[in-house]
Chains A and B, each alone.
Chain A
Amino acid sequence: MYDSPISERQLTQQEIKFSARGVQVYYGDNHAIKGVDVDLEDKTVTAFIGPSGCGKSTFLRCLNRMNDTIDICRVEGTITLDDQDIYDKRVDPVQLRARVGMVFQKPNPFPKSIYDNVAYGPRIHGMARNRDELDSIVEKSLRRAAIWDEVKDRLNAPGTGLSGGQQQRLCIARAVATEPEVLLMDEPCSALDPIATAQVEELIDELRQDYSVVIVTHSMQQAARVSQKTAFFHLGHLVEFGETSQIFTNPEDKRTESYITGRIG
């Protein structure tokens, strides 16, 4: 670790946001996550990589308890957010999800206007006292998602009428509007063209200033470009976790190396 550049060493000093210990996830009899221990840092982009079906999405969805919406899913072990167990009986998953936002693989804007899409979260959480405040939250979120200039003249047009890349940035704006502390992104660029992908990546890099970002990706280049930390999953195990530069240049595990060089996956 001594040979890593100073800037990256500074990043590793961020405080821990999420801490998982011995996490097991079952879908019925299917054991999807097998004993994962990991610490995710604040103001850092962490990438989850690994072959399809290895459990990246499943683990990501553990972090905001989205797995609760799947009847057959069972989660064991502990996951803490700011040292508080998120699977504690007293924790309201609805509150948790307001703190841990999520962007999905396919852009899923609601069949509402662009404005209402972004205002959805602030409205249900009562974040604005009046219309002006709501307007400014919407504008700020759209600006953060780098889509304000494209939609500012048609805030009342349906969100479903935007292009794929715009829709995904709208979904990001919708997620940041609730001012989450962590943003989970499950393959946010897999349905996008290269230009839109570049825009979203740029955006992720900016979001790092304020949030902890966890991104699942199938693209090694993307992981290398946007993340500081990388976790490699394989068959439900967390095989290797460390500095992105370390994982991509000098992986410790044979499986990581095979995957990165394209021999498994």
Chain B
Amino acid sequence: MPLQWLFLIVLAIATLGYVMGRRRALAAAHHDRRRLHSLPSYYGANAGLKAFVPAFLFAVIWLLVQPLVVTNTVSNMLGADVIPDTSSRGLVMSEVRRAADGLDAAVAQGFITKDRARSADADLNEVTESLKSAGQIITSELTRPILNAAQRYRAMTGAGASIMSGLVILIALAGALWGIWQAKAEFRARNVVEQGIRALLIAAASIAILTTLGIVLSLIFNTIEFFRLYPAADFFLGLNWAPSFSGRGGSSDLGVLPLLWGTLYISLVALSVAVPIGLFAAVYLSEYASPRARGIAKPLLEILAGIPTIVYGLFALLTVGPLLMQVFGEDGLGWMQAGTAVMTAGLVMGIMLIPFVSSLSDDIINAVPQAMRDGSYGLGATQSETIRQVVLPAALPGIVGAILLAASRAIGETMIVVLGAGAAARLSLNPFDAMTTVTAKIVSQLTGDADFASPEALVAFALGMTLFVITLALNVFALYVVRKYREQYE
């Protein structure tokens, strides 16, 4: 039975449970809802939840565990003699799986009967033929052990699916019946449903947290794996970034410093564009603009935040780069060799960050109590004096927090760098040189056809980890600063 059907059946049972539970509760109260402990819909929801949630959870767990069990059993069935020297058990198993899938498809399209597909002494050539006519690809010659294993695989998977369907429906029915049986006037359905909803919300939150944890753990393990192959000191202190894809590891220089320098330099340029402009824009919007002007300007500014970064990247590559070349290139001052440079990427990234800085600062400036401004105006201060001497100092910690958050976005930005800053890792002070960043190099290390277990590929995880630690530290520091600021007015 396909999964969709199973899902619909469980849903139908849950709906039925809802209707019956509600009706039974009303009947128990002689159709006077005032005699019920909870509203009738809660009795229905109780039955519905009891039908759906356990059955659903059971199905999910079964679907996760079944492939593991089946693969393990079938794999043990294959003797050591079946596995060629040039191959591994894993490769043979994937062949088995492919054959099993092929048989499924062939049966579904009618090229082979169910019985023939199942029989242990089926003719190998016939099976191969039917698989081919079903459009299935068979890499190597189908051998008898593999065919038998595939047949066993199909049988177990099929049986597992049937058993699961039966059990899931049974669980759903049992849950629904339990819920309906509970629907008596004095049953506290409202409280039970409340707890059920609470549990669902907790489950959602834990999935989010566990996923994060999983990502971090995989990052950590792969980083450790990398440092086993490549000395950590060379990675952190190396001044040269020159990965080689041709040879095996050892011939590559994987020093992170040029990349970190590129990251910091580009971020610095970006921030020195974004911070003044964003801050001034925020001051204008929150202190000077009339409500009408604010109503128009603020959404316009925030449109900037909605532009995908790849578009900014194109803008850097096609507009800003050539523009800078005209001024600083060979025809101009001669400082710039190519359109891709720290300056190009930094400027464009700064433009990208303006709405980020301005809308955060705007919120923070607005949070400064009006009483502060009144106090200053009441002493005969002008508007700009008030802003410079009262509003901005009061908002400063929050603004610093906003800037740090912007910095951590700048550090994590990739597309603008890939298109605007070039790909050369170099330690240089000239902002018109091409440089590259940690993020851009993570992309290029993983987009080659390198062996995934080589240090050249694994270094991506170490780079990711470095970046993660830096941005995490920045974010934590920013949040700390912002929170400290909040305490001042409460």
Q: Note whether A and B form a binding pair.
A: yes
Q: Give the B-binding residues of A (Cβ under 8 A).
A: 64, 66, 69, 71, 94-99, 101-104, 106, 108-112, 120-121, 124-125, 160, 171, 174-175, 178
Query: Which residue of the partner chain, among B374, B376, B378, B389, contacts A101 with CB atoms under 8 Å?
Result: B378
**In the complex, are the beta carbons of B371 and A124 less than 8 A apart?**
no
**In the complex, are the beta carbons of B381 and A171 less than 8 A apart?**
no
**In the complex, are the beta carbons of B380 and A108 less than 8 A apart?**
no
Query: Which residue of the partner chain, among A101, A104, A124, A160, contacts B381 with CB atoms under 8 Å?
Result: A124
Cα of A108 to Cα of B386 in the assembled complex, Å? 14
Query: Which residue of the partner chain, among B372, B380, B382, B385, contacts A110 with CB atoms under 8 Å?
Result: B372
Which are the 5 A-B pairs with shortest beta-carbon distances? Answer: A98-B380, A102-B378, A108-B371, A97-B380, A121-B379
Asked whether any CB of chain A lies closer than 8 Å to the CB of B221, the reply is no
Given A94-B380, A121-B379, check contact A104 B374 (CB 8 Å).
yes
- B interface, by DSSP: helix, strand, loop or mixed? helix
**In the complex, are the beta carbons of A124 and B389 less than 8 A apart?**
yes
B7-40: CB near A (< 8 Å → 1, else 0) gives 0000000000000000000000000000000000
**In the complex, are the beta carbons of A160 and B379 less than 8 A apart?**
no
**In the complex, are the beta carbons of B378 and A71 less than 8 A apart?**
no
Cα of A174 to Cα of B373 in the assembled complex, Å? 14
Which residue of B is nearest A102, CB measured? B378
**In the complex, are the beta carbons of B375 and A111 less than 8 A apart?**
no
- 6 residue pairs bridging A and B, Cβ less than 8 Å apart: A98-B379, A102-B378, A104-B374, A111-B488, A120-B376, A124-B381
Q: B371, B381, B385, B390 — which one has the most chain A CB atoms within 10 A of its CB?
A: B381
Contacts of A101 in B (CB 8 A): 378-379
Contacts of A178 in B (CB 8 A): 379-380
Cα of A121 to Cα of B380 in the assembled complex, Å? 7
Shortest distance between the CB of A210 and any CB in chain B (Å): 18
Q: A66, A103, A112, A120 — which one has the most chain B CB atoms within 10 A of its CB?
A: A120
**In the complex, are the beta carbons of A110 and B394 less than 8 A apart?**
yes
Asked whether any CB of chain A lies closer than 8 Å to the CB of B291, the reply is yes
**In the complex, are the beta carbons of B381 and A110 less than 8 A apart?**
no
Contacts of A174 in B (CB 8 A): 375, 379
Contacts of A71 in B (CB 8 A): 290-291
How many residue pairs link A and B with beta carbons under 8 A? The number is: 71
Contacts of B377 in A (CB 8 A): 66, 69, 97
Cα of A121 to Cα of B390 in the assembled complex, Å? 12
Cα of A24 to Cα of B379 in the assembled complex, Å? 25
Asked whether any CB of chain A lies closer than 8 Å to the CB of B369, the reply is yes
Cα of A8 to Cα of B319 in the assembled complex, Å? 80
**In the complex, are the beta carbons of A111 and B394 less than 8 A apart?**
yes
Query: Which residue of the partner chain, among A66, A99, A108, A120, contacts B369 with CB atoms under 8 Å?
Result: A108
Given contacts A104-B371, A120-B376, 20 further A-B contacts (CB under 8 A): A66-B374, A66-B378, A69-B373, A94-B380, A95-B380, A96-B380, A97-B377, A97-B379, A98-B380, A102-B378, A102-B379, A104-B378, A108-B375, A110-B375, A110-B393, A120-B379, A124-B380, A125-B380, A174-B375, A178-B379
Given A69-B373, A71-B291, check contact A110 B378 (CB 8 Å).
no
Residues of B277-303 at the interface with A, using a CB-CB cut-off of 8 Å, are 290-291
Which residue of A is nearest B395, CB measured? A111
Contacts of B371 in A (CB 8 A): 104, 106, 108
Given A94-B382, A124-B380, A178-B380, check contact A171 B375 (CB 8 Å).
yes
Shortest distance between the CB of A110 and any CB in chain B (Å): 5
Contacts of A111 in B (CB 8 A): 372, 393-394, 488
Size of chain B's interface in residues, with CB distance under 8 A?
21
Cα of A71 to Cα of B290 in the assembled complex, Å? 9
Cα of A69 to Cα of B371 in the assembled complex, Å? 12
Shortest distance between the CB of B285 and any CB in chain A (Å): 15
Contacts of A64 in B (CB 8 A): 378
Q: A108, A120, A125, A171 — which one has the most chain B CB atoms within 10 A of its CB?
A: A108
**In the complex, are the beta carbons of A110 and B390 less than 8 A apart?**
yes
Which residue of B is nearest A97, CB measured? B380
Cα of A178 to Cα of B290 in the assembled complex, Å? 31
Shortest distance between the CB of A238 and any CB in chain B (Å): 23
Cα of A98 to Cα of B488 in the assembled complex, Å? 28
Cα of A125 to Cα of B382 in the assembled complex, Å? 10
**In the complex, are the beta carbons of A94 and B381 less than 8 A apart?**
yes
Shortest distance between the CB of B373 and any CB in chain A (Å): 7
Cα of A112 to Cα of B380 in the assembled complex, Å? 18
Which residue of A is nearest B485, CB measured? A111
Which residue of B is nearest A160, CB measured? B488
Shortest distance between the CB of A159 and any CB in chain B (Å): 11
Q: B373, B380, B488 — which one has the most chain A CB atoms within 10 A of its CB?
A: B380
Cα of A120 to Cα of B394 in the assembled complex, Å? 14
Contacts of A106 in B (CB 8 A): 371
Given A94-B381, A94-B382, A98-B380, check contact A120 B374 (CB 8 Å).
no
Cα of A103 to Cα of B387 in the assembled complex, Å? 20
Cα of A111 to Cα of B389 in the assembled complex, Å? 10
Shortest distance between the CB of A260 and any CB in chain B (Å): 30
Cα of A112 to Cα of B378 in the assembled complex, Å? 17
**In the complex, are the beta carbons of A175 and B378 less than 8 A apart?**
yes
Which residue of B is nearest A171, CB measured? B375
Query: Which residue of the partner chain, among B375, B389, B390, B394, contacts A104 with CB atoms under 8 Å?
Result: B375
Which residue of A is nearest B388, CB measured? A124
Query: Which residue of the partner chain, among B291, B372, B378, B385, contacts A124 with CB atoms under 8 Å?
Result: B385
Cα of A62 to Cα of B369 in the assembled complex, Å? 21
Shortest distance between the CB of A68 and any CB in chain B (Å): 9
Shortest distance between the CB of A201 and any CB in chain B (Å): 21
Cα of A98 to Cα of B393 in the assembled complex, Å? 22
Given A112-B393, A160-B488, check contact A69 B374 (CB 8 Å).
yes
Contacts of B379 in A (CB 8 A): 97-98, 101-102, 120-121, 124, 174-175, 178
Cα of A99 to Cα of B378 in the assembled complex, Å? 10
Cα of A103 to Cα of B393 in the assembled complex, Å? 22
Which residue of A is nearest B378, CB measured? A102
Shortest distance between the CB of A165 and any CB in chain B (Å): 17
Cα of A178 to Cα of B389 in the assembled complex, Å? 17
Contacts of A125 in B (CB 8 A): 380
Contacts of A175 in B (CB 8 A): 378-379
Contacts of B369 in A (CB 8 A): 108
